[in-house]
Chains A and B, each alone.
Chain A
């Protein structure tokens, strides 16, 4: 035991000593200590150096408002700066360092900065260090930045996981002091769903600072609460947002010596509360007196907490200066603990004495009106500031209450302050007020409650606020700090006022008062009082500065949550992903998709080598490309043709059944939105494709057209992207190879260019759709099979082609092939081009009465001669290259905006031509064929002379599309291994996460038929497919839409259906932690009242789109589109690690 540690008492466990280091020195504290209390007990009063002047500082507070005792804890990726030593619970092996000192905390050379204090005053960066001008950036600023500041963040990746959670409740109680506890118990007893969030290690707040017997025992109070009260300790409510949603940061494993590897470091809660009570208590105000930052000077309430909670005496002889009961309560408790109290000075706001703290490096006493009081610790209390920040985060302005001597929050719906947070003092008064506030809040929800505690009077009148003190003589020359953390003094505020920046918002920016990590918690009210005093105003006439979230610092890790590393965003995989992976594919991210970019063959070291070989193989023999990522939409309904005719600019209604057409979708302003193909499967059924990137936006646009612009049309659509494994088979041998496995007649007579057929493979074994489309300019087909059949079909095609006959090719070869043909992608369709700009002007059928973009196209500017139009570029020197992004200039012109002629949108070295070929958008480019220009690449520093040519480099007549080719080869016998591949074939299985009883069980439902059913028009409100009506699972897919798993023999009268077999994968989720895992990702209400058994919803779980059905109290079913299933499975396992679980594969 040290001189400062009391031999008995407190809430520490003396049987459990904990060793820790501070600045490399070993210390010992006890379970229940904070780092600050353990250091104080060890006689380490200086725990930090100040921000600007490097002054030695000790803890001013004993809680979360601490401005001085900031330390860096942890090592490697867990290194964390600016941790408040006063809230950091001690743990075995804790490693902490002080900050902002060199070489050591005791001998800090930076303290010399104090000598230059006159240069560093308010607004110094506007006034000093101005000359010579270049010195600011090179010399002064780096020096000042290094000298000033807080801890340094680590640079290693954070090894910990961070979690998120949604919760919904009737009443959120913020703070578990007397008011909060009384409120929570009152509401819980009435049957309301209550969450009690408190920043402390254990609930109790100020009750824990009392001597035993002086107040009720928080643990005993909570023991009686029922299961509808959820207590969240170590949880700081940092933000109040619209619709009474609160942001809460829960510390779980962070800053623990040996964190459980399966638990997250922190958990970010979003709590939607019907009502909330702000029972956050109040912060004690420091006295604005000279020398108030000396180590050993602390707030009276903080000393009382250290004394009663942590059994640490502030010193051997304590002086107290107070304007209210806080100082007297401390003196009483000090004496009870056997600590000498030198004197208690009661401050009268009406007749303030001259007052200063005395000492150098450590407080030695106090001077009161010239009288010196010897002491080695000085307690101060300048009254209390209710913690109203949360209540003022949504625009409400605090008001000054002269009666309470404090700024209070105005009434705001949804969040009501109670207890000390509205200026009350005394335990009994706060208990009664909390209970009454809960009764009132519940009555607004229509619930009756009985107060758990009776109303009680306050223990004294609220103390009046104190103004800055002056002291005469030498003591008066010491600095009076207002904002301790940012080293802002009373003199700084006075200077700001004198220079015209006396308005609180201006003073904040001029002096940085209130801009530190505590956001003015310690300083805000004192600064407002000081500014009012300096300006000759009454207290409260200078306002507090605007309060915004977050109330307390929130780590970036907590905000990112699970969205980092492999789970940064959902990943979509095509049905052929594993197939391509097995062939060595290198993948490229395209939005959420992973697409094969190229397939390196043995000996190939550069992507271009591989892609060139693949592209040549397509033109020489045949290639196989996975185009499953293209958006696919099925459109049905009596008005489907009329609808698509209005959505696309070209003619759609005239497409015959069994034929497809290239189609352009415009925006209403006439610009191209997307391109794709439209295939007519039946008079009232179309299959349309979009580009990969625009699949989502194009569907949203089409839905907008159908629902908003033309709500009366009978048209229904749904994405079937995930249903089909879509393979492009391109090249002279394409028909020969395909014909060996496709049952349909693929002769040109039966199946010409742009034909479409619903067919089968291997004599009816596999359903399929065949399209004769070409992106490469070769004879080409797209074959679609239900996704599960993709790998088997690709294998069969390879077998049908024989060795080397069919070459898998990726996105890079695809790009080479399409550039050679002048086909556009979103590199060209960049939102500023019209169909005419792309050379496709004739597609826009102005004679149609209406289509999206028809009127917009008529704008005169869209026909201007100098518009950027599509053309080709080839280098004059056949060995030169042109890069995408290069700008086009006329020869001899210097690069400038005025001289700019356009830019290169896509470029390649063409395998067919043997030299570079590029597509470009050039002013009037289509009419400048043959002109010489320069492709200027400012990044590479090159200028390449080039010639404008037609954008179609190869086979402009399209002869290769229809060139004679070998007919279908002999039918291939069905391979022995012809079988579908389950979506979750590669999923990780077995036990995961925390050991012990599994909180979760993940299973895979068997795949089978899936049908999407649409209600008959006008009957969307009815439920012809209520779950009970069918023997198979029926899930909500939107109003008037259902997903039927297990097939549907008959379509209900008037309803439409789209087969979606394979597009959806179902995952079973079961266990006591299932709902918590779901709440980690979705904000939908999951309680039995909102989500009864048998119900299903569509929602997002951590950005993964899915359908969720409740099968039992703890049994759920997740249905997810196939491409997302594997990633979701892995994300569920990762997020479920904290609960522990078992994953059972297919």
Chain B
């Protein structure tokens, strides 16, 4: 994994300042979604070789939850974005 991660708020920092949670792809199902949807959300994960999006938290810095898009084979980091900021701007665009 990358040695440095460029936090959108703090700039490039050593990976040790960050903690990883896992795959960012699964979306939390609706509360009353079918059990299958919930089981997939809880337990089923891809383990891709290549591009992958993950949730990371900059716990040693701003504390924000980020999506790190990276390549699991080459370790290249494509982008690092703030999850909440992205969701809110998407919601704003949706309204407009």
Known: A849-B31, A855-B33. A1099 touches B85 (CB 8 A): no
CB distance from A95 to the nearest CB of B (A): 38
A1018 to B87, CA, bound (A): 11
Q: How large is the interface on A (under 10, 10 to 19, 20 to 34, 35 or more residues)?
A: 35 or more
Apart from the given pairs A700-B59, A1038-B9, 16 other A-B contacts in the complex at a CB distance below 8 Å: A241-B3, A245-B3, A270-B14, A272-B3, A703-B63, A704-B21, A707-B83, A712-B88, A712-B91, A856-B38, A856-B42, A858-B38, A859-B35, A1099-B13, A1099-B17, A1105-B60
CB distance from B65 to the nearest CB of A (A): 4
CB distance from A278 to the nearest CB of B (A): 18
A709 to B65, CA, bound (A): 11
B9 and A708 within 8 A (CB): no
Residues of B within 8 A of A854 (CB): 31
Known: A245-B4, A1083-B13. A1039 touches B85 (CB 8 A): yes
A668 to B33, CA, bound (A): 14
Selected contact of A708 from candidates B2, B11, B29, B84, CB within 8 Å: B84
A458 on the B face (CB < 8 A) = no
Interface string of A134-160 (1 = CB under 8 A from B): 000000000000000000000000000
CB distance from B8 to the nearest CB of A (A): 8
A242 on the B face (CB < 8 A) = yes
B75 on the A face (CB < 8 A) = yes
In the complex formed, the residue of A with least CB distance to B27 is A709
A1038 and B62 within 8 A (CB): yes
Residues of A within 8 A of B3 (CB): 241-243, 245, 270, 272
B14 and A1083 within 8 A (CB): yes
Q: Which residues of A does B touch, CB under 8 Å?
A: 166, 241-243, 245, 270, 272, 668-669, 696, 700, 703-704, 706-709, 711-712, 849-850, 854-856, 858-859, 1018, 1020, 1036-1039, 1083-1085, 1090, 1097-1100, 1105
A1090 to B10, CA, bound (A): 10
B63 and A1038 within 8 A (CB): yes
Known: A856-B42, A858-B35. A1039 touches B64 (CB 8 A): yes
A711 and B13 within 8 A (CB): no
Q: Which of B1-27 contact A (CB under 8 A)?
A: 1-4, 9-14, 16-17, 19, 21
Interface string of B42-70 (1 = CB under 8 A from A): 10000000000001010111111100000
A859 to B83, CA, bound (A): 29
A-B contacts, 24 of them at CB < 8 A, read A242-B75, A243-B4, A245-B3, A272-B12, A668-B28, A700-B57, A703-B57, A707-B82, A708-B84, A708-B87, A712-B91, A850-B31, A855-B29, A855-B33, A855-B35, A855-B38, A856-B38, A856-B42, A1038-B62, A1039-B62, A1083-B17, A1085-B12, A1098-B10, A1099-B60
A270 to B13, CA, bound (A): 12
Residues of A within 8 A of B13 (CB): 1083-1084, 1099
Residues of A within 8 A of B83 (CB): 707-708, 711
Selected contact of A707 from candidates B11, B31, B35, B65, CB within 8 Å: B65
Q: How large is the interface on B (under 10, 10 to 19, 20 to 34, 35 or more residues)?
A: 35 or more
Known: A242-B3, A712-B87, A1100-B60. A704 touches B11 (CB 8 A): no
CB distance from A275 to the nearest CB of B (A): 15
CB distance from A280 to the nearest CB of B (A): 21
Selected contact of A1098 from candidates B1, B61, B82, B87, CB within 8 Å: B61
A1039 to B83, CA, bound (A): 12
In the complex formed, the residue of B with least CB distance to A668 is B42
Known: A1084-B13, A1100-B16, A1105-B60. A707 touches B84 (CB 8 A): yes
In the complex formed, the residue of A with least CB distance to B17 is A1100
Q: Which of B72-96 contact A (CB under 8 A)?
A: 75, 77, 82-85, 87-88, 91
B62 and A1098 within 8 A (CB): yes
Known: A1083-B13, A1100-B17. A1020 touches B85 (CB 8 A): yes
The 5 A-B pairs with the shortest beta carbon distances in the complex, nearest first, are A1083-B14, A711-B87, A245-B3, A707-B84, A1100-B60
CB distance from A722 to the nearest CB of B (A): 15
A1100 to B11, CA, bound (A): 14
Q: Which residues of B does A touch, CB under 8 Å?
A: 1-4, 9-14, 16-17, 19, 21, 28-29, 31, 33, 35, 38-39, 41-42, 55, 57, 59-65, 75, 77, 82-85, 87-88, 91
A1083 to B3, CA, bound (A): 10
CB distance from A1101 to the nearest CB of B (A): 10
Residues of B within 8 A of A272 (CB): 3-4, 12
A704 to B66, CA, bound (A): 10
The interface centre, meaning the residue of B13, B35, B82, B91 with most chain A CB atoms within 10 A of its CB, is B13
Residues of B within 8 A of A1090 (CB): 11
A703 and B2 within 8 A (CB): no
In the complex formed, the residue of B with least CB distance to A1107 is B61
Known: A1084-B11, A1099-B60. A708 touches B55 (CB 8 A): yes
B31 and A1085 within 8 A (CB): no
CB distance from A1120 to the nearest CB of B (A): 13
In the complex formed, the residue of A with least CB distance to B5 is A243
CB distance from A621 to the nearest CB of B (A): 43
B55 and A704 within 8 A (CB): yes
In the complex formed, the residue of A with least CB distance to B19 is A700
CB distance from B22 to the nearest CB of A (A): 11
Known: A242-B1, A243-B3, A245-B3. A707 touches B64 (CB 8 A): yes
A855 and B84 within 8 A (CB): no
Residues of B within 8 A of A1099 (CB): 10, 13, 17, 60-61
CB distance from A516 to the nearest CB of B (A): 28
Residues of B within 8 A of A1038 (CB): 9, 62-64
Residues of B within 8 A of A850 (CB): 31
Residues of B within 8 A of A166 (CB): 14
B31 and A1018 within 8 A (CB): no
Residues of B within 8 A of A1036 (CB): 62
Residues of B within 8 A of A704 (CB): 21, 55, 57, 65
CB distance from A709 to the nearest CB of B (A): 6
A270 to B38, CA, bound (A): 43
Residues of B within 8 A of A858 (CB): 35, 38
A855 and B65 within 8 A (CB): no
A1083 to B39, CA, bound (A): 40
CB distance from B51 to the nearest CB of A (A): 16
B38 and A1018 within 8 A (CB): no
In the complex formed, the residue of A with least CB distance to B14 is A1083
In the complex formed, the residue of A with least CB distance to B42 is A669
Residues of A within 8 A of B35 (CB): 855, 858-859
Residues of A within 8 A of B62 (CB): 1036-1039, 1098
Residues of B within 8 A of A1085 (CB): 11-12
A245 to B5, CA, bound (A): 12
Residues of A within 8 A of B60 (CB): 1098-1100, 1105
A1100 to B83, CA, bound (A): 22
The interface centre, meaning the residue of B19, B88, B91 with most chain A CB atoms within 10 A of its CB, is B88
A706 to B13, CA, bound (A): 24
Residues of B within 8 A of A708 (CB): 55, 65, 83-84, 87
Residues of B within 8 A of A270 (CB): 3, 14
A1038 to B82, CA, bound (A): 12
CB distance from A1099 to the nearest CB of B (A): 6
A486 to B13, CA, bound (A): 41
CB distance from A888 to the nearest CB of B (A): 30
A1037 to B9, CA, bound (A): 10
A243 to B88, CA, bound (A): 31
In the complex formed, the residue of B with least CB distance to A849 is B31
Known: A243-B4, A669-B42, A708-B83. A1039 touches B9 (CB 8 A): yes
A1105 to B57, CA, bound (A): 14
Residues of B within 8 A of A1098 (CB): 10, 60-63
A166 to B12, CA, bound (A): 13
CB distance from A1089 to the nearest CB of B (A): 11
The interface centre, meaning the residue of A242, A272, A696 with most chain B CB atoms within 10 A of its CB, is A242
B65 and A703 within 8 A (CB): yes
In the complex formed, the residue of A with least CB distance to B35 is A858
A1090 to B12, CA, bound (A): 10
CB distance from A662 to the nearest CB of B (A): 24
